[in-house]
C-alpha cells in the first residue's frame, strides 16, 4: 500500500471516530441517564453487644473493612464500669485500646463510634437539667475525642422514662429534656478540633410501633439539630421486614432519614442461641430512604460472621441481594477448607434455617443424632472458636434431646 493511501485510510478512520464521538455526545445531551434506583447504603456497619472488652472489636475491625463496610460502634455494654455507671471514667487499658483502634480504623477507612447510655442503669438517674450530669457527659465525649474517636452515639433507649423533679419543672416533658440535652452536646462537640464526624441519638421510642403510640414525643425529637443522626430498629424491636415505606414514615416524624439499627442476628433475648440464617426481609430500595444500616450481631463473634457476611452483601448491593446465594458465598469466603465448610453447613442445617417472624424461629433443634453429628464435625482444625461459641447451646440441646429420647 502506498503512503498516500495509508494517510487517506487513517484520515477516513479519524473521521469515522469523530462522527461516533459527536453522536455519543449528542445522545448524552439528549437523554438523561437514570440513577440506580436501589443504591447501597452510605453507612454500612456493625456494633458489638455484650462483647467483653476490646478483643472482639480487634477482630471485627479488619473484618468490617474486608467486607466493604465502613462503620463499627463500640457498645457501652462492653465496658463494665462505665457501662453500669456512665458517670465512671474509662479505665487506662480501655483508653489505650480506644486510641489503638481509632488509629487502625483511620487506616482502614472505617468510622469508629463509641456509644454510651446515661440512663439505662443510671443510679441516681440522669437529670437533664443537672449541670453536673451534663458536664460529666461532655467530659466523656472530650476524653474519647482526644483518643481519636470522632463519632459518638448517645443512647437513651430502654431507660426509665420518668422525669426527675428538676426536669419536670424545667422541661415538662421527656422529649423536651432530651432535645435540650442532645442539642447542647452536639453544639459543644462542634467546637472540638478536628470536628467530630457525627452524633447519633437513639430515642426512647426507637421503633415505628412505639413512635406511633407516642407521636408527641417523636415529633418533638424532630427539633434536634438536623446534623444529628437518629437510630431506628424498624417497625418493631426485632423487625422481620423493613421497607422504604417504613423508613419514610419514621423520617417524616423525625425530620431526617434514620440509621437502621438492625437487631439481627443479635441473640441476647434467646439466651445466646446461634442464629445463622441469612438476613431477609429488607427491601431492595431501603438504602435510598435511610442514612445507613448497622447490624447488631450475636455475643459470639465467630458464629456471627456468616449472617453478618450476608448483611454485608445486602448493604453493598441491595438491588441484587439474594439470601440463599449470599449464604453460600459467605460460607465459601469465610471458611477455606472443604472440611470446615462441611461442618459449617451442618451447623446451618440445625441452627440456620429460619429468620425473624418465620415458623421455627428461634431455632431449637431436638434431633439428638443430628446435633451430635454437628458437634463432632466442629472439631475440625480451624473451627475451634466457632465450636467454642456454639458448644454451650449444642450441649444443652443434646442433653434435652437425650432426656426426651428425640
Q: What's the burial of 95, exposed, middle or buried (CB within 10 Å: 0-12/13-18/19+)?
A: middle
Instruction: Retrieve residue 378's grid coordinates.
Output: 466442629
The number of beta carbons lying within 10 Å of the beta carbon of residue 8 is 12
Is position 61 within any domain? yes
Shared domain for 369 and 230, answered yes or no, is: no
Instruction: Retrieve residue 54's grid coordinates.
Output: 476490646
Stated pTM of the model: 0.89
pLDDT at 341: 98
Is position 97 within any domain? yes
Residue 337 sits in which domain range?
Answer: 330-403
Is position 382 within any domain? yes
Shared domain for 183 and 131, answered yes or no, is: yes
User: What is the tens place of the pLDDT at every residue in 270-323?
Assistant: 989 999 999 999 999 999 999 999 999 999 999 999 999 999 999 999 999 999
Domains identified in the chain, total number: 3
223 CA to centre of own chain: 25
Shared domain for 301 and 351, answered yes or no, is: no
User: What is the tens place of the pLDDT at every residue in 204-259?
Assistant: 999 999 999 999 999 999 999 999 999 999 999 999 999 999 999 999 999 999 99
Shared domain for 146 and 294, answered yes or no, is: yes
Is position 371 within any domain? yes
Shared domain for 150 and 21, answered yes or no, is: no
Q: Check pLDDT > 80 for residue 12.
A: no
CATH code, 273? 3.20.20.80
CB 105 within 8 A of CB 112: yes
CA distances from 25 to 16, 29, 385 (A): 14, 6, 57
Mean pLDDT of 8-30: 39
Task: Give me the phi and psi of 334, to 5 degrees please.
Answer: -80, -30
Shared domain for 182 and 69, answered yes or no, is: yes
C-alpha torsion angle, residues 353, 358, 362, 366 (rounded to 10): -60
List the one residue out of 263, 264, 274, 301 whose CA is nearest residue 52.
301
In the block, which residue shows the cell 440456620?
Answer: 352
Shared domain for 275 and 362, answered yes or no, is: no
The answer for residues whose C-beta is within 8 angstroms of residue 67's C-beta and 6 or more apart is 308, 309, 312, 316
Is position 38 within any domain? no
List the one residue out of 246, 301, 311 whose CA is nearest residue 280.
311
DSSP code of residue 258 = P
Shared domain for 273 and 363, answered yes or no, is: no
Shared domain for 184 and 315, answered yes or no, is: yes
Shared domain for 208 and 190, answered yes or no, is: yes
Shared domain for 4 and 145, answered yes or no, is: no
Is position 124 within any domain? yes
Shared domain for 274 and 353, answered yes or no, is: no
Q: Check pLDDT > 90 for residue 7.
A: no
Average pLDDT score, the chain? 90
Amino acid at each position: 500500500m502506498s503512503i498516500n493511501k495509508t494517510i487517506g485510510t487513517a484520515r477516513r478512520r479519524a473521521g469515522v471516530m469523530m462522527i461516533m464521538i459527536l453522536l455519543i455526545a449528542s445522545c448524552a445531551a439528549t437523554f438523561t441517564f437514570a440513577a440506580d434506583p436501589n443504591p447501597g447504603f452510605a453507612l454500612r456497619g456493625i456494633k458489638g453487644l455484650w462483647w467483653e472488652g476490646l478483643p472482639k472489636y480487634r477482630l471485627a475491625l479488619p473484618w468490617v473493612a474486608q467486607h466493604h463496610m465502613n462503620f463499627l460502634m463500640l457498645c457501652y455494654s462492653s465496658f463494665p464500669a462505665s457501662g453500669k455507671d456512665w458517670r465512671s471514667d474509662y479505665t487506662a487499658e480501655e483508653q489505650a485500646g480506644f486510641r489503638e483502634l481509632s488509629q487502625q480504623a483511620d487506616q482502614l477507612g472505617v468510622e469508629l463510634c463509641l456509644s454510651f447510655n446515661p440512663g439505662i442503669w443510671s443510679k441516681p438517674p440522669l437529670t437533664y437539667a443537672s449541670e453536673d450530669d451534663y458536664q460529666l457527659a461532655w467530659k466523656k465525649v472530650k476524653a474519647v475525642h482526644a483518643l481519636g474517636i470522632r463519632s459518638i452515639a448517645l443512647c437513651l433507649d430502654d431507660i426509665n422514662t420518668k422525669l426527675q423533679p428538676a426536669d419536670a419543672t424545667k422541661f415538662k416533658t421527656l422529649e423536651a429534656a432530651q432535645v435540650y440535652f442532645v442539642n447542647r452536646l452536639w453544639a459543644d462537640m462542634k467546637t472540638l478540633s478536628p470536628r467530630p464526624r457525627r452524633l447519633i441519638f437513639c430515642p426512647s421510642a426507637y421503633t415505628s410501633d412505639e413512635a406511633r403510640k407516642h407521636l408527641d414525643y417523636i415529633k418533638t425529637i424532630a427539633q434536634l439539630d438536623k446534623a444529628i443522626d437518629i437510630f431506628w430498629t424498624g417497625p418493631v424491636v426485632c423487625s422481620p421486614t423493613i421497607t422504604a415505606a417504613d423508613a419514610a414514615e419514621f423520617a417524616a416524624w423525625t425530620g431526617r432519614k434514620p440509621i437502621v439499627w438492625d437487631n439481627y442476628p443479635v441473640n441476647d433475648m434467646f439466651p445466646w442461641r446461634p442464629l445463622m440464617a441469612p438476613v431477609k426481609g429488607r427491601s431492595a430500595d431501603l438504602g435510598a430512604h435511610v442514612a445507613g444500616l448497622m447490624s447488631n450481631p450475636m455475643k459470639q463473634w465467630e458464629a456471627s460472621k456468616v449472617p453478618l457476611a450476608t448483611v454485608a452483601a445486602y448493604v453493598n448491593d441491595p438491588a441484587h441481594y439474594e439470601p440463599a446465594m449470599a449464604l453460600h458465598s459467605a460460607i465459601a469466603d469465610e471458611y477455606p477448607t472443604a472440611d470446615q465448610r462441611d461442618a459449617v453447613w451442618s451447623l446451618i442445617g440445625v441452627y440456620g434455617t429460619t429468620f425473624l417472624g418465620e415458623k421455627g424461629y428461634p431455632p431449637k433443634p431436638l434431633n439428638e443424632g443430628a446435633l451430635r453429628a454437628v458437634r463432632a464435625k466442629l472439631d475440625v482444625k480451624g473451627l475451634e472458636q466457632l465450636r467454642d461459641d456454639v458448644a454451650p447451646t449444642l450441649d444443652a440441646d443434646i442433653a434435652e434431646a437425650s432426656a426426651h429420647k428425640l
